[in-house]
Structures are given as C-alpha cells and as structure tokens.
Amino acid sequence: MDKHWKDFFNNPAVLEINIAPQEDIEDIVSMFIEDRIDPILFNNNIEALLRGGMPSASDLFLEKSKILEPSKSLTSFISIVNRPVGTPLWFLAAYPDVIDWLNEQDKQYMELHKGDDGWLKEMLKLLDISIENAETVNILIRSSDGKPTPKYYYRLKNKYKEITNSKFETSVDENSINNPYLGAKFLNMIGAENNFTLIAENTTKYYLELNYSHKNRISNDITLLAVAGVLDAQYYIFVDRSISIPEIINMAKKAVSSGGDPLLNFIIELEIRIFMIDSPELGFNRTEKACISQKDVILKTIQKTKENYESEPKVISDVELFMNHSKFASYRKMLGIKNRFLFS
C-alpha cells in the first residue's frame, strides 16, 4: 500500500490541485498506512470535496445505489463555506470525523466560556503543545508558511482516538475480503491459498458471466480472458492505476499462446502481477514461484467454480456496467469489444 499512496499523491493531476505539499507526502503516507485508511473511501471523499457537492456527469447516468458516497462525517464539509479554514484536503478527506469532533469541542468551549477567545490555548493544551517550546513549534508548525505539518495532524488524530476510543470512519474493515492491506501479508497468512483462490474464483465467475451474456460481443479467447481480468482487477486498473489495459491484454495473449488451459495460465499471470503490487518486497522470483506452486489449488478452484456458478447479482452488475456504460467505452474499444448495437 505504500506504493499505492505514493503513486496517488505523486500523480501529476493530484499535484496540480494541491491536495498535499510535496514535502509532506512521506509523512502522510506513513499515517494512512498506520491507520489503514480505505483508498476507495478516501478517493470518494476527495472527489466530493473537489466537486463541492455538484454531481459528475457519470453520476447522472448511474442508479442512486451505485453512486459512490462520501463517508458520513464529510457531508458537513462538502460545501466550501462549511470547511474549517486552513485544514488541508488530504486530512479532511481521510479524517473528517476528527475535524467534526474538534469543531464540537470548539462549540462546547465557546458555549461554556461565553465567547472567550482562549480556545486556541485550550487546543494547544489538548495536543500537549507548548508555544514557548521552540523545538515543538518547529516540528509542528512549518516556519516557511506558518501552516501545521503532518506531525501536528498526527497528534490531533491520535488525541481524538485516545479520547473517544473510536475507530476512524475511513479505516478499512479488517474482516472484509476487499481489504487492500491484506495483500501485503498474503504469504504470511495461515491458509495462504485463500488469496490465490479468491482471485481465481472471481476471475472465473466474470469469465463465465461474460461468456454467457455477452458472447456475441467478444470475438476471441484473448478478449474474453482480458475482460474477465479487468473486472477482477478493477481496483488496480481504475483506482490504483498500477495495472494498464495493454498489460492485461498481453497477459491474455501469453495465456492463450502458452498451451494448456488458457484460463489457468491467465489467472496465474494475473495473480503474480497483483501480488507484486501488494508485496513488492518479495521480489518477482519469489512471487512467481509462490503462484506457480499453487497451480493445482487454482485449477481446482476454477473447476469447482465452473461446476457451481449460478449468476450472482454483483457479478452481473459489474459485467453489465462495464459492458454498457459510456464511461467505459474507451476501455471497451482498447479491448476490442464489439458495440452493443450494430450502428452505435
């Protein structure tokens, strides 16, 4: 996940809108990993803040249930006029519950002290900051622009957690199979085959659903494999952007030309690529060896899924959205998928 967050903050488009100063990125990434901030929730929150509550063009064509919603506490700050002055977008998107809590402390103080302007001193005391201590101030407040550093916000969010004993609302669900932080530990898990079989099962389901419902639009096995791979690796393609469509197509071509079972070959290639992104410290050779060693397990999963799969709502929904929505038209063109209608 270190790579994911660094890639996000160093993306030219992100740098242009100044979500975070370049010099702060290392500290911000460490904070996000420590608190296991959910990349999808964070992305939804950033998008909501940047739009200021206005819908995107794609939202107008999606069912309400499919529109990605920001986290609960962020709704108070979506309008620019309601945002706390000086709070950076990265912190507001990742820890809106902390800012919501801080605002409530401010409000309670003002009501108790009838407009007394001593809240700043109370806040410094709350965060164990001594304004007389030059060393502390230099660490927490940047001398160049007078703005708080990530170390200041680190203290703030930790104080919130200590006082409220609450989980950050943008932290991932540790028990979810979609927890992106699990991938970094896949070889250390008891029953490590869970990660191998999960990708194999999901890719096979997409493969079967595509072959059943869109066979007339998919011209060959390479395209069928590639689209199934795109759907299973959609987080890495559309959110993380660490895997490209041409990469997926090349995996599919290699899987078909290598002989044997193309679906098995493709899933192994896809797993190697995904695990390399999640656990780069393992190196390519160890990752490839680990995936190949699970070949029999993966094959059994493919066979079992083929025998037992009956169309599932989520799989159908993912397939239909990708195959028919206009926002994926450019990706479909790259993959060589035929238009839904002859003259569209």
342 CB neighbour count, 10 Å cutoff = 6
* Helices marked H in 76-220: 89-94, 96-113, 119-126, 134-140, 150-164, 193-213
Residue 140 is predicted with a pLDDT of: 75
Q: Which helix (H) or strand (E) holds 146?
A: none
Non-local CB neighbours of 291 within 8 Å, separated by 6+ positions: 196, 268, 271, 272, 275
The alpha carbon of 249 is separated from its chain's Cα centroid by a whole number of angstroms, namely 23
Q: Are 8 and 89 in contact (CB under 8 A)?
A: no
Residue 194 is predicted with a pLDDT of: 55
Q: Is 297 exposed, middle or buried (0-12, 13-18, 19+ CB in 10 A)?
A: middle
Nearest Cα to Cα of residue 321 among 232, 231, 236, 252: 231
Q: Are 169 and 73 in contact (CB under 8 A)?
A: yes
Residue 57 is predicted with a pLDDT of: 42
Nearest Cα to Cα of residue 237 among 223, 247, 252, 222: 247
Q: Which helix (H) or strand (E) holds 181?
A: none
The encoded tokens of residue 284 equal: 């390519």
Residue 1 is predicted with a pLDDT of: 66
Lookup result for tokens 């025998």? 307
Q: Is 64 exposed, middle or buried (0-12, 13-18, 19+ CB in 10 A)?
A: exposed
Q: Are 89 and 19 in contact (CB under 8 A)?
A: yes
C-alpha to C-alpha distances, 59 to 45, 56, 95, 318, 344, nearest whole angstrom: 15, 5, 25, 16, 22
Q: Are 142 and 134 in contact (CB under 8 A)?
A: no
- The pTM assigned to this predicted structure is 0.52
Query: For the CA atoms of the chain, what is the radius of gyration?
Result: 24
* Residue pLDDT tens, the chain, 344 long: 666 788 788 776 777 777 888 888 989 999 998 999 988 889 889 988 888 755 544 443 334 434 457 888 998 888 888 888 888 999 999 999 999 998 888 787 777 766 556 666 777 777 776 666 555 666 677 656 768 889 889 989 998 999 999 999 999 876 664 566 765 444 343 233 456 788 899 999 999 999 999 999 998 999 999 999 999 998 889 887 899 999 999 999 999 999 999 999 999 999 999 988 877 877 888 889 888 988 998 999 999 999 999 888 888 988 999 999 888 999 999 999 988 754 44
- DSSP three-state, residue 231: helix
Q: Provide the residue ranges of all domains of the chain, joining segments of one domain with +.
A: 2-164, 183-335
- DSSP three-state, residue 37: strand
The alpha carbon of 255 is separated from its chain's Cα centroid by a whole number of angstroms, namely 28
Structure letter (DSSP) for residue 156: H
Q: Are 81 and 105 in contact (CB under 8 A)?
A: no
d(CA 41, CA 33): 14
